[in-house]
Structure 1
Amino acid sequence: MIQTLSDALIPLLSLIAIGAVLGRKTDFFDGRALSGLVTTVGIPALLLHSVLSMDLGIFEMGELVGVTVLWLVAMSAVTAVVLVLMGLPVRSYLPALVHPNTGNMGVPVCFALFGAQSLGFAMVISSVIQVSHFTLGIGCLSGRLSLRAMLKNGPVLALIAGAILLALKVQPPGPVMTTLDMLGSITVPVMLMQLGSSIANLRFSGAREMLRPLVFSFYRPLAGLAVAAGLLLLWPLEGLQAQVFLVQCAMSVAVMSYVLAVRYQGPAQEIALTIPISLVVSLGVAVWFSLW
């Protein structure tokens, strides 16, 4: 298990390191064009390809979608209360503290812990979280959220299209799937290198500025796990589904939260610093699951 986990994480950390070097030496990550390419092309293609590649029935998929949406509602409510008590702007920090890194972190971790049979469950949960980034996340950071905008959202359309094709048992031709795979493959590397660039260019005046990211780094995985465990008391899932759900909800702050914070002028530097620290906490949770 440790070998598989390290095999999954070393490429991620390597891409962050490459981004850090490029961010210090070049202007490749300056501006919003690159993040715009990822959010409008890469993410929808990755999402649709993932949904169409899953070996799941429409009813199993619907149950996981439902429980994940309910978890998002509960986690958002809890986090909003915490932010109000801390005297922080809810809209600025809510998306990063609610959304876990279920994609490039959660999926490899679930595979390492539970094997290939867990991948379908992990991808469904990750798909819902990705849609939430572009609905709840953008709505909070931009201050605009409408049904019309949601229905024009690329990831939302990709998930709807994938669900319809699954229900009709229609599999697109091989070249179409290959095209989606190629377009989606740009997403994770670019996001991780953007994160590394931001971390490399962080400027903090003292240790006091580290306190809030440190608190957030523990809150995101541990609160996510606690809310998920409480929810399973009301909505019991089968053994493997429940385990994957708990692990996914306990993942670190998502890289996408950083990308959106950059695009909509949110607290990008704090989020960038929170991501690697919360990753360590999430790995601790993963190790605990492996021993449990």
Structure 2
Amino acid sequence: MNLILTVFEIVAPVFLLAAVGFTWVKLGFEYRLQFVTRFATMLAMPSLIFVALMQTEIPGSDLSRFTMATLVANLLLVVVFWLIVRGLRLDPRTYLSPLIFGNTGNLGLPLCIFAFGQIGLGYAVVFLSVTALFSFTYGIYLVAGKGAWGQVARQPMAWATILGAVFLWQGWQTPTFLTNTLELLGQMAVPLMLVTLGVAIARLTSHSLGRALWLSALKLAVCFALGWGIGRWFDLGTIAFGVLVLQICTPVAVTSYLLAERFGADSDAVAGMVMVSTVLSVAALPAVLAIIL
């Protein structure tokens, strides 16, 4: 009973905030998705990432091992889902990106914060940063058929990760007034991301829900197995292991839909996967948490 209550206390705020965004749009109220998304990715998220890395108390050896585990996890996801897509004769431009990349920002970060606290946030930020680098480069290549390597240099989240890692490595701290300012900006990131996720889901439409259902279930099963296996292989600690499994199991990212729409892939199919996998995560992620807690 205590475990059920603990899991509920972790996941309820996350999905309730997403429900606020969903309901807001369905009631016909205005929500400027482009502005909020840009504000979150240009200011709030980089502030959260930088401060989380600068202030993390994770030992350097543990952080290095977790980073390596995250890199291996992303590479294995690419290989396994490439084989699955080829075996099922699906269009790689449409299906590879949503199968590989999860919603490690909007959904993963808040869950890790509530489940594992400040140390969990440090690990979750590392996972998000590695995934974002993959998404801005290889992810765009998958859909567009061409590289977008210069995108990384223009992403504030990438620079926040680099600066945060340098400050952590050197043991530096920003002046108190600046740290407080960045913390306030960073505190906006989680509610903004969750409400925005609900808004994005509310505005998606799709007629490709049948295939999306079994592909979403397949993605979850493969990701859970890989996350569990890699976490044990690298002998990660309890919190690092939990964050790795939870982050890798997050549903399809909304950015996969935006890329499909922008570069002419089957955006309707990807929208179906975003919707179905997110709904599926309402039951699946609490179950994952119950297993790893």
Distance 1:185 1:258 in 2: 27
Which residue pairs with 2:219 in the alignment? 220
Paired with 1:201 and 1:105, the residues of 2 have a C-alpha distance of 18
Q: TM-score, normalised by structure 2?
A: 0.80
Work out the CA distance in 1 between the residues paired with 2:90 and 2:77.
17
CA contact (8 A) 2:104 2:250 kept: yes
| Corresponding residue for residue 176 of structure 1 | 178
Deviating beyond 6 angstroms after TM superposition, the runs of 4 or more aligned structure 1 residues are 262-266
1:278 is aligned to 2:277: no
**1:166 is matched with which residue?**
168
Match of 2:199 in 1: 197
Give the SS at the match of 1:253. Answer: coil
Greater mean alpha carbon deviation, residues 158-167 or residues 77-86: 77-86
Matched residue type, 1:248: Q
Counterpart residue number, 1:35: 37
8 Å contact from structure 1 (residues 217, 281) kept in 2: no
CA distance in 2, matches of 1:219, 1:177: 42
Q: 1:105·1:251 contact (CA, 8 Å) conserved in 2?
A: yes
Aligned to 1:3: 5
Q: Superposed, which structure 2 residues align to 1:1-292 within 5 Å?
A: 1-24=3-26, 25-29=28-32, 32-103=34-105, 105-107=107-109, 109-110=111-112, 118-204=120-206, 209-232=208-231, 234-254=233-253, 257=256, 267=267, 269-273=271-275, 274-290=277-293
Q: Which amino acid in the other structure matches residue 283 of structure 1?
A: P
Displacement after TM superposition at 1:118 (Å): 4.4
Give identity over the alignment, percent.
Answer: 26
Aligned partners of 1:138 and 1:144 also within 8 Å? yes
Q: Secondary structure at the match of 1:185?
A: helix
More moved, 155-164 vs 265-274: 265-274
Deviation readout 1:229-250 (Å, 9 max, x if unpaired): 3435653334553344333323
Cα 1:219/1:50, change in 2 over 3 Å = farther
Structure-1 separation of matches of 2:205 and 2:245: 35
C-alpha offsets along residues 199-248 of structure 1, whole Å, 9 cap, x if unaligned? Answer: 3344455xxx3222212321232211212334356533345533443333
Partner Cα distance (1:186, 1:114) in 2 = 19
Offset at 1:284?
A: 1.9
Separation of aligned partners in 1, 2:216 and 2:225: 15
TM-aligned CA deviation for residue 78 of structure 1: 0.9
Quote how far apart the aligned CAs of 1:72 are: 0.2
CA distance in 2, matches of 1:118, 1:193: 22
Range with greater deviation from structure 2 (86-95 or 157-166): 86-95
Q: Which runs of 5+ in 1 are unaligned?
A: none
For 2:238 and 2:194, the matched residues in 1 are separated by: 32
The alpha carbon displacement at 1:261 in A equals: 5.7
Question: Shift of the alpha carbon at 1:191?
Answer: 3.1
> What is the RMSD of the two structures over their aligned residues, measured on CA atoms?
3.2
Structure 1 residues 257 and 188: alpha-carbon distance in aligned structure 2, compared to 1, 3 A threshold: farther
Question: Unaligned 5+ residue runs, structure 2?
Answer: none
Contact 2:7 2:289 in 1 (8 A): no
Distance 2:47 2:114 in 1: 25
Measured at CA, do residues 108 and 195 of structure 1 come closer, stay the same or move farther in structure 2, by a change above 3 Å?
closer
